[in-house]
Amino acid sequence: MQVQLESPDQPEVIQLIAELDAYQRQLYPPESVYALSLEALMAPHVLFAVARDPAGRALGCGAIVLGSDFGELKRLYVHPRARGQGLAARLLALLEARAAAAGCHDLMLETGPYQTEALAFYARSGYQRRGPFGDYAEDPYSVFMHKRLAPSAA
């Protein structure tokens, strides 16, 4: 499997993002889904990673929006047929390493309480629950998490 930074503006990646949107719409009311648009994901301050199988098919993706005070993990998703192979961990590791190399010291994320597998994954990956950050407000459909990144050796 290959994991690298790529543009989100690719048909297979757009399909992955659409699948994630459809999944979240099943779980949460629209006002509690804080998804970034494709245009926002293409901004210069966004790191976007894609995981591909040996045939080059996109199986997962994720992004970090780099801000002045922290980075925010967004759109981490692995297609159901590809789960259990460590792709989410590989996507997250690449994104965290690139964020640290860019001078980011803190990563934040917002996910939902019904995404129990995601919550367990983030906890195993060193993220701890915290209160709202940035422009987020308290929301019963939101779980906020934080991780302090080790300085980059690069």
User: pTM here?
Assistant: 0.93
pLDDT of residue 152: 60
Domain holding 37, by residue range, is 2-148
Position 120 in a domain: yes
Position 153 in a domain: no
Report the C-alpha gap between 102 and 127 in whole angstroms. Answer: 20
Position 154 in a domain: no
Stretch 38-58: mean pLDDT = 95
Q: 52 pairs with which residues across the strands? A: 2, 58
Position 108 in a domain: yes
Listed as own residue / partner, the contacts of 25-33 with beta carbons closer than 8 Å and 24 or more positions apart are 27/112, 27/114, 27/115, 28/112, 28/114, 28/141, 29/141, 32/112, 32/139, 32/141, 32/142
Tell me the three state secondary structure of residue 32: helix
CATH number of the domain enclosing 116? 3.40.630.30
pLDDT of residue 12: 95
pLDDT of residue 150: 83
The tens digit of pLDDT for each residue in 144-153 reads 999 999 876 5
The torsion angles phi and psi of 33, rounded to 5 degrees, stand at -105, 115
115 with 27: CB under 8 angstroms? yes
The tens digit of pLDDT for each residue in 77-117 reads 999 999 988 999 999 999 999 999 999 999 999 999 999 99
Position 15 in a domain: yes
Report the C-alpha gap between 99 and 34 in whole angstroms. Answer: 21
Q: In this structure, which amino acid lies at residue 118?
A: A
Report the C-alpha gap between 138 and 154 in whole angstroms. Answer: 37
How many structural domains comprise the chain?
A: 1
pLDDT of residue 1: 86
Position 48 in a domain: yes
Stretch 51-63: mean pLDDT = 96
What b/e sequence results for 50-81 when a residue is b if at least 16 CB atoms lie within 10 Å of its CB, and e otherwise? bbbbeeeebbbbbbbbbeeebbbbbbbbbbee
